Amino acid sequence: MLNPAAIGRYALTLVAIVAVTTAASDAHACTLRLGWEPYAVFTYEGKDGEPRGVDIDVLRQIADTAGCSVEFRKLPWARILVEIESGQIDVASSVKYIPVRDAFALFSIPYRRGELALFARRGEVHRLLIGSIDEWPRTGRRLGFVNAYSFGSDIDASLAKAEIAALSDGSPDYATGIRMLVTGRTDAFLAEDVNVMIGEARTLGVEAAIERHPLVLPPSDYHLMFSRASVPPDLVSIADRVIARMRRDGSIDRLTQYHREPR
């Protein structure tokens, strides 16, 4: 028979085991489902078939801090938006904030800035000289971009105009849009991130076939976008703290430089 002291030690040990088991169970119960698409430097498939990129590394840091695991789901961007709204996916990365998304999403603080640009086939930029996207109709040419992307409120409004929409061809992703450009189906491609455009063109082996148009477009801040239907605000607060730390110590800049190199 155990004496009172031994019983006390046994009870404390049992409490500790239960606490550890419960914590492990809670950690496994917390899974962040990331919807991602091929997006060059920020989300891409490694040689081992696993997702890689700046956004992947940032999200892993957030998940580790929150005590969560991460599940990756590769989907077209338009589908990612639908599943964020329904709560089938918890988070998407490299997202611009636009007010209409407030209805179904929570946004982190910005963690990077992207540079918008217009690209054409090499040697053909002179045929497309315009001072703004609003002037596109006078070129009479086809304009490509990724379906459901936002380029900022002003440019989105321009693209919605009937005379521009009539000359536009959407694509499900960067790779398809770039192929449409180099094969002549479109005459220009509106890229909402220069790094992604160059990275995806390099992956396709057509970087030398395109060049940047001189049109200057405003840069954009990028955020993580969380589903209101499945993610509590406290988790977004954790994301904000991790992002703030990674911006302060230069981690995100170093990750961008690392993933920008062909590999």
pLDDT, tens digit, 9 for 90 and up, residues 23-54: 333 434 589 999 999 999 999 999 999 999 99
4-113+221-260 and 116-212 agree in CATH topology:
yes
3-state secondary structure of 73: strand
Confidence of residue 261 (pLDDT cuts 50, 70, 90): confident
- Mean pLDDT confidence for 181-188: 98
The residue extents of the domains of the chain are 4-113+221-260, 116-212
- pLDDT, one tens digit per residue, over 129-154 is 999 999 999 999 999 999 999 999 99
| Angstrom distance (rounded) from CA 138 to CA 56 | 41
CATH superfamily ID and name for 4-113+221-260: Periplasmic binding protein-like II (3.40.190.10)
Q: What is the DSSP string of 133-144?
A: GGGGGGG---EE
Confidence of residue 3 (pLDDT cuts 50, 70, 90): very low
| Angstrom distance (rounded) from CA 232 to CA 206 | 43
User: At a CB cut-off of 8 Å and minimum separation 6, what does 47 contact?
Assistant: none
User: At a CB cut-off of 8 Å and minimum separation 6, what does 100 contact?
Assistant: none
| Angstrom distance (rounded) from CA 110 to CA 119 | 26
- pLDDT, one tens digit per residue, over 93-122 is 999 999 999 999 999 999 999 999 999 999
- pLDDT, one tens digit per residue, over 73-92 is 999 999 999 999 999 999 99
Query: Are 230 and 87 spatial neighbours (Cβ–Cβ below 8 Å)?
Result: yes
Pick the CATH number of 116-212 from 3.40.640.10, 3.40.1390.10, 3.40.190.10, 3.40.50.300: 3.40.190.10
pLDDT of 12 over the 70 cut: no
- Mean pLDDT confidence for 167-186: 97
